[in-house]
Amino acid sequence: MTATADEFDLGGLRLSVGEGRRTELGVRIGSLVLGGERYTAEPERVPVKLEVSRMTGSGYALRLLFQATLEGSCMRCLKRASPKVEVEAREVDRPGGGEELQSPYVNGEKLDLAAWAHDAFALAAPVKVLCREDCAGLCPVCAADLNDLDPARPEHHHEPALDPRWAKLRELKLE
Ligand SMILES: [Zn+2]
Ligand SMILES: [Zn+2]
């Protein structure tokens, strides 16, 4: 069984300088908001691979790899969408010394794995979450689901219906 770790103790690996280790863990990524909609990462405990290398001098180089499903509604047709998201993220934490680099996820020897995995997942998530790549979406006039149209009659359009009051206004503008 994979151990669960939302916070990971880097010091606990007892790595000597230049040594690296790969660990498999389960991390809770939780939910995120994209385009005003809430999405969740599935499964609840996402299995991740964490690679930790202890650098010469001080500090750690970290690499995080995982795949999770983004669950929520399609941004075009509002039906369920569950695209898979591949994540590969790197962090370096080298406190003190000449080239000072501080990872926001590392505090001393403690890695906030849940926060890092959450942010990396949000960055890797698609800008447009769709139920499928070629989702046709909803008709902007009548909100019919354009994915459900009769394949024999795939065209769907509306006569441009002009409100007579607007037509009058148009005439005025032209004068
Ligand atoms: Zn869709
Ligand atoms: Zn329509």
**Predicted pLDDT of residue 98:** 62
Cα 155 to middle of ligand 2, angstroms: 10
pLDDT digits (tens, 9 = 90+) for 66-113: 999 999 999 999 999 999 999 999 999 998 766 678 999 999 899 999
Asked if residue 171 belongs to a domain, the reply is no
Asked if residue 58 belongs to a domain, the reply is yes
Asked if residue 147 belongs to a domain, the reply is no
Asked if residue 41 belongs to a domain, the reply is yes
Tokens of 54: 């202890």
Asked if residue 69 belongs to a domain, the reply is yes
Give the pLDDT band of residue 140 (cuts 50, 70, 90). confident
Ligand nearest to the CA of 147: 1
The overall average pLDDT reported for the chain is 89
C-alpha to C-alpha distance for 82 and 70, rounded to whole angstroms: 5
Cα 86 to middle of ligand 1, angstroms: 21
Q: How many CA atoms lie within 13 A of 99 on its CB side?
A: 6
Give the pLDDT band of residue 120 (cuts 50, 70, 90). very high
Number of folded domains that form the chain:
1
Ligand nearest to the CA of 144: 2
Cα 10 to middle of ligand 1, angstroms: 42
For residue 77, the enclosing domain spans 3-136
Tokens of 50: 């964490």
Q: Specify the DSSP element, H or E, that contains 165.
A: helix 164-174
pTM: 0.81
- To 10 degrees, the CA torsion angle through 34, 63, 21, 23? 10
Asked if residue 154 belongs to a domain, the reply is no
Cα 82 to middle of ligand 2, angstroms: 26
Asked if residue 175 belongs to a domain, the reply is no
